[in-house]
Amino acid sequence: MSQISITVDGAKLQVEADQRPTHIFAENKEIVVCKVNGVLKDLWTDLVDGDVVEGILISSPTGLEVLRHSTAHVMAQAVQEVYANTRLGIGPPIKDGFYYDFDPESTFNPDDLTKIESAMRKIIKEGQRFKRRVTTEAEALKELAHEPYKCELIGIKGPAGEEASVEVGGAELTIYDNLGRDGNPVWSDLCRGPHLPSTKHIPAFKLMRTAAAYWRGSEKNPMLQRIYGTAWPSQDELNAYLELLAEAEKRDHRRLGTELDLFSFPEEIGSGLAVFHPKGGIVRRAMEDYSRIRHEEEGYEFVYSPHLTKAALFETSGHLQWYADGMYPPMILDEEYNEDGTVKRAGQQYYMKPMNCPFHNLIYRSRGRSYRELPFRLFEFGTVYRYEKSGVLHGITRARGFTQDDAHIYCTKEQMVGELDSLLTFVLNLLRDYGLNDFYLELSTKNPEKFVGEDSDWAEATEALRKAATAQNLELVLDEGGAAFYGPKISVQAKDAIGRTWQMSTIQVDFQLPQRFELEYSATDGTRQRPVMIHRALFGSIERFFGVLTEHYSGAFPPWLAPVQAIGIPVADTFADYLGDVIQQMRKAGIRAELDSSDDRMQKKVRNAQMQKIPFMVIAGEEDQKAGAVSFRYRNGEQKNGIPIKDAIAEIKKVVQERTQV
Ligand SMILES: [Zn+2]
Ligand SMILES: [Zn+2]
């Protein structure tokens, strides 16, 4: 056998010509797929002289995708074993898992998932090898004649949308055969690959749920059945993931929103449009009030703009060219008719605003601006309306109407570096004040194919953002080429109490709008210059941040945000008057305090207060009354007795003022 020389994970190696990556990496079972000369391949791929091979671990992002996609294959195989007349759609990996779309004879139910899982376990135990086979369009169409959806994909080839590209996105058309114990194919699927070397490399999986899904996402197509599953490199990781899901479900803001009486989505208003109830209103106002104070301290000026505007504004801003899909359709207003019903004067198109920026630009442009006024920082709690697809709506974290804490900063090029730096510090500190403190930053840089403005401006702004980010001593992730066409941005990603990442604030430099709106200022030398514009939403939207905080705190808001900060619970009715007086004193001191004067017994009142996650239970019995004191019971069940009323008030006021959690 002749030898070939290859490079494996950076080291030169002489191997027999029939050696494949699966042999080369035989020692390391964690390597499940590889890159050959930069291209992702199966471990069974042939090697030639000079190849550069890189092993990929199952736990890496790419390894996880291959694991999950391979598990989707096994699921499809199992489904066809159990329900022979099921037709196959597509089966891509997704975040934390995978799905596969099927056209079954009858709808799947939860019992079916258990059956499919046990069929999958058998396939995994058999250790079936995934074997790649190159085919032609004609052959594939013949072989897959009983799979109409797959045949449709063959017809599309090329870029068939991101998800379908798993099946046919490669340079060659390929079918993967699963080989049984005797080496003969037991099942085949049209797929681009790559896959795990064999089914026994699937350490842990679980099928999660079924859903209906249109074939290739279009309502014009047949409705298919989708099964979602998840797969992990170890049983421990699978268990941890399932625990996280259970914890996330307990914290789900939609559920807590109802339980704590914070907000609702009445059917009569329309999906994605929330109303805030009195308790949610208190939390929201506390969030807004604090934000307002901090912004005023930082030199922002508060403005207001209408929810509705003529189309012309969004033509100038360009939104109607590139964002029309995200906007509610126009209203035609002020149309005038003749007596015979013909149009005398054509109407005007008006739109609900999806963004506040154009309005702020008009405020900037309302008169001449001088360099002396810059940086000019405008802030608005601006309510916007975006026509999101109903499938992506998710409580108040993804809604159709929401209020942005929206700021636009206009400054000179020279001021940009300093402004971005202080802006990022301000943003992070404010998020910390609301109780988030685990961050990383993401810097999105120019897409060389699609951008407006000068290269030098981009370089300068990107460098300024990078400098500002680096100064924070936080992890900085590069999103190379990921910027919008109008400018680079930094986004702040925050981890919540259970380790989930939420994109919070964005700081976006914009080279386009100042041009489109012809914004100017007169410089020191009297020339007219164009300002730099920075968009900045700190919470994203108040509703979304409200949702994130609800989940972060699991509804147990810190006292400064809690709708009710203290609830009075008398040990018996006889102490209700005394405690009522204490609660009254607390209210006078600015504390949101209530007396539970219901007919419930004390234990029930305590349970209710726990369910409502109220930070301070203020309890009074005989000894308390004699001593002119109260007892505190905290959310964690601890109790402190005999606190003089004055001290009790001071303790609550202190944690509210310091915005600490109890
Ligand atoms: Zn596949
Ligand atoms: Zn903006």
Supply 333's token pair.
């207003």
Burial of 599 (0-12, 13-18, 19+ CB in 10 A): exposed
Cα 404 to ligand 2 centroid, rounded to whole Å = 10
Ligand 1 centroid to 64 CA: how many Å?
13
Does the annotation mark 357 as catalytic?
A: yes
- Ligand nearest to the CA of residue 487, numbered in listed order: 2
CA of residue 142 to ligand 1 center, whole Å: 19
CA 370 / ligand 2 centre spacing (Å): 22
- Check residue 169 and give its pLDDT: 60
- Alpha-carbon distance 89 to 190, whole Å? 10
10 alpha carbon – ligand 1 mean position (Å):
28
Q: Which ligand is nearest to the CA of 76?
A: 1
Q: How far apart are CA 48 and CA 172, in angstroms?
A: 19
Ion ligand 2 neighbours (CB, 5 A) are 357, 535
The CA distance from 421 to 411, in Å, is 13
**Cα(7)–Cα(52) distance, rounded to whole angstroms?**
5
Q: Ligand 2 center to residue 394 CA distance, Å?
A: 23
* E-state strands within 524-575: 528-529, 532-537, 566-570
Neighbour-count burial of 525, counting CB atoms closer than 10 A to its CB (0-12 exposed, 13-18 middle, 19+ buried): exposed
Q: Let me know if 398 is a catalytic residue.
A: no
Distance, C-alpha 463 to centroid of its chain: 27
535 is catalytic: yes
For tokens 């006889």, the residue is 574
Place of tokens 């019995």: 621
User: Which one is catalytic: 20, 68, 535, 633?
Assistant: 535
Task: Give me ligand 2 centre to Cα 533, in Å.
Answer: 9
Look at the chain and count its residues. Answer: 662
Predicted pLDDT at 160 = 42
Rounded mean pLDDT for each run of 10 residues along the chain, 662 residues in total = 90 92 93 95 94 96 96 96 93 94 91 95 95 91 91 69 55 88 91 93 96 89 95 97 93 96 95 96 97 96 97 93 91 92 91 96 97 97 93 92 96 93 95 95 92 87 92 93 92 94 93 94 96 93 96 97 98 96 97 96 96 97 95 94 96 96 93
Distance 190 CA to ligand 1 centre (A): 7
Residue 76, helix vs strand vs coil: helix
C-beta atoms surrounding 462 within 10 Å = 20
Q: For residue 556, what are the CA distances in angstroms to 131, 181, 542, 546?
A: 53, 56, 18, 13
Q: Nearest bound ligand to CA 68? A: 1
Q: Please report the pLDDT score of residue 149 as a whole number.
A: 93
Distance from residue 195's CA to the centre of ligand 1 (Å):
6
User: Ligand nearest 187 Cα, by number?
Assistant: 1
What is the distance, to the nearest Å, from the Cα of residue 508 to the centroid of all Cα atoms in its chain?
Answer: 18
Cα diameter, the chain:
98
Bond from prior residue into 194 cis (ω within 30 degrees of 0): yes
Quote the ligand 2 centre to 319 CA distance (angstroms).
Answer: 11
Taking the CA of 356 as reference, the closest ligand is 2
- Catalytic annotation, pick one of 206, 408, 446, 536: 408
Catalytic residue among 226, 357, 400, 624: 357
Catalytic: which of 251, 279, 295, 489? 489
Structural element, H or E, at residue 296: helix 278-297
From the CA of 74, which ligand is nearest? 1
Q: Can you read off the two tokens belonging to residue 176?
A: 């993967």
Q: Which of 225, 404, 508, 625 is catalytic?
A: 404
Task: Confirm whether 408 is a catalytic residue.
Answer: yes
CA-CA distance, 515 to 173, in Å (whole number)? Answer: 47
Query: Nearest bound ligand to CA 508?
Result: 2
Q: Using the mean position of ligand 1's atoms as its centre, give its distance from the Cα of residue 219 in Å.
A: 25
Residue partners of 379: CB distance under 8 A and separation at least 6: 295, 300, 301, 302, 303, 405, 406, 407
- Distance from residue 407's CA to the centre of ligand 2 (Å): 7
The pLDDT value recorded for residue 527 is: 96
For 477-518, the three-class secondary structure string (H helix, E strand, C coil) is: EEECCCCECCECEEEEEEECCCCCEEEEEEEEEECCHHHHCC
Ligand of minimum distance to the alpha carbon of 355:
2
Identify whether the C-beta of residue 519 lies closer than 8 Å to the C-beta of residue 364: yes
Beta carbons of 523 and 371 less than 8 angstroms apart: yes
Provide the token pair at 211.
């859903």
Element (H, E) at 32: strand 31-36
CA of 284 relative to ligand 2 center, distance in Å: 22
Preceding amide of 448 cis, omega within 30: no
Ligand 2 centre from 292 Cα, in Å? 18
User: CA–CA separation, 571 vs 621, rounded Å?
Assistant: 5
Nearest ligand to the C-alpha of residue 513? 2
Handedness of CA 548, 550, 554, 560 (dihedral sign): positive
Q: Which of 68, 386, 466, 605 is catalytic?
A: 386
- CA distances (Å), 122 to each of 116, 117, 127, 145, in order? 10, 9, 9, 27
Distance 188 CA to ligand 1 centre (A): 10
Q: Can you tell me the distance from the alpha carbon of 531 to that of 374, in angstroms, rounded to the nearest whole number?
A: 9
Amino acid present at 469: A
406 is catalytic: yes
Tell me the CA–centroid distance for residue 135 and ligand 1, in Å: 15
Catalytic entry in 112, 405, 406, 496: 406
Q: Residue 3: phi, psi to the nearest 5?
A: -105, 150
Sign of CA dihedral 253, 254, 255, 261: positive
